[in-house]
Amino acid sequence: MAKTKKQTAPFQFKQFAVQQERCAMKVGTDGIMLGAWAEVAGVSKALDIGTGTGVIALMLAQRAPEAAIHGIDIDEVACQQARENFEAAPWKDRLSIIQESIQDYARTTRTSYDLIVSNPPFFSGGTFGMKEERAIARQTVRMPHGDLLIAVRQLLARSGRFCLVLPYLEGLRFQERAEEYHLFCTKVTEVKPSPDAPVKRLLMQFEQEDKPTETDQLVIRATDAEDSYTTDYRALLKDFLLKF
């Protein structure tokens, strides 16, 4: 007798749930931090590039009750899953999915956004097998960072903000490259897993005005214990995570 495929439980947040069994990239710390960290004040229209499950778009919809949120992804299966998650959310009327490459969308749309967010791929090399969907999702093959920056320049409103998360070294390189596209890093949060650990991630905000960069740090855990989350980390995610 054939075995029935086990249904993966959704990732449950306080106000919504995310089904993710068909997506290569599951809900993770990077995306959750970005969704809670990106500034939403004054945002009426936001775009989540490479939306995947739609988790970041859903978080923005919760935080910005007047904003229309678009999620874009080139992957058909991811778009189907995100669309289902959007339909099940309390803010489904403000959420929509676009199945298209960001390169093509930026060339053809007249829409501009007050906020653009992305948890982009960051591996530029390496090899992967035919079934390694997660590896493919983390490669920059489908969305090179140069293409991402070109698209953001075309889609971002003049006073808009572009926020993303990257590993430390990739984030530093991205800041340098962004200036070539006249996008300037105006805010950085350096993320450390514990007080004595090196910086692992950079949460970054870019604007079209060159001004001094605000920098701070976020430590996830006070110790190496699994449940020893710091006050700052709990404060960032208290409106979303059940355990907080």
Query: What are the backbone dihedrals phi and psi of residue 115, each rounded to the nearest 5 degrees, phi first?
Result: -140, 130
Pairwise CA distance, residues 96 & 127, whole Å:
33
Quote the pLDDT of residue 3.
Answer: 45
What pLDDT is stored for residue 216 in this prediction? 98
The pTM of the full predicted model, rounded to 2 decimals, is: 0.89
pLDDT tens string 187-211: 999 999 999 999 999 999 999 999 9
Q: Which residues contact 154 (CB under 8 A, 6 or more apart)?
A: 106, 107
Mean of the pLDDT values across residues 16-20? 96
How large is the angle between the packed helices 29-37 and 55-63, nearest 10 degrees? 20
CA angle 49-20-77, nearest 5°?
60
Q: Identify the pLDDT of residue 139.
A: 42
Q: Would residue 213 be called left, alpha or beta, if left means φ above 0 and alpha means ψ between -120 and 50 degrees? A: beta
Distant-in-sequence, close-in-space partners of 240: CB < 8 Å, separation ≥ 6: 13, 14, 15, 32, 35, 36, 59, 62
* Residues counted in the chain: 244
| AA identity, residue 33 | M
Burial of 18 (C-beta count, 10 Å sphere; 0-12/13-18/19+): buried
Residue 74: pLDDT over 90: yes
Q: Which tops the pLDDT comparison, 123 or 153?
A: 153
CA angle 171, 172, 178 (to 5 degrees): 85
**pLDDT for position 173:** 96
Asked if residues 218 and 189 have their Cβ atoms less than 8 Å apart, the reply is yes
Distance of CA 164 to the CA centre of its chain: 6
Distance CA 4, CA 26 (A): 22
Q: How far apart are CA 115 and CA 35, in angstroms?
A: 12
User: How does pLDDT run across 43-55, given as a tens digit for each residue?
Assistant: 999 999 999 999 9
What integer is the mean pLDDT of 3-20?
81
Determine the pLDDT at residue 142: 60
How confident is the model over 91-137, as pLDDT tens digits? 999 999 999 999 999 999 999 999 999 999 764 433 333 344 444 44
Side chain identity, residue 114: D
How far is residue 163 from each of residues 38, 54, 99, 169, 202, measured CA to CA in Å? Answer: 6, 16, 21, 17, 10
CA atoms of 171 and 200, how far apart (whole Å)? 10
Which among 124, 70, 78 has a CA at the least distance from the CA of 98? 70
Average pLDDT, the chain: 90
CATH 3.40.50.150 fits 34-237, yes or no: yes
Extents of the domains making up the chain: 34-237
Rounded to a whole number, what is the largest CA-CA distance in the chain? 65
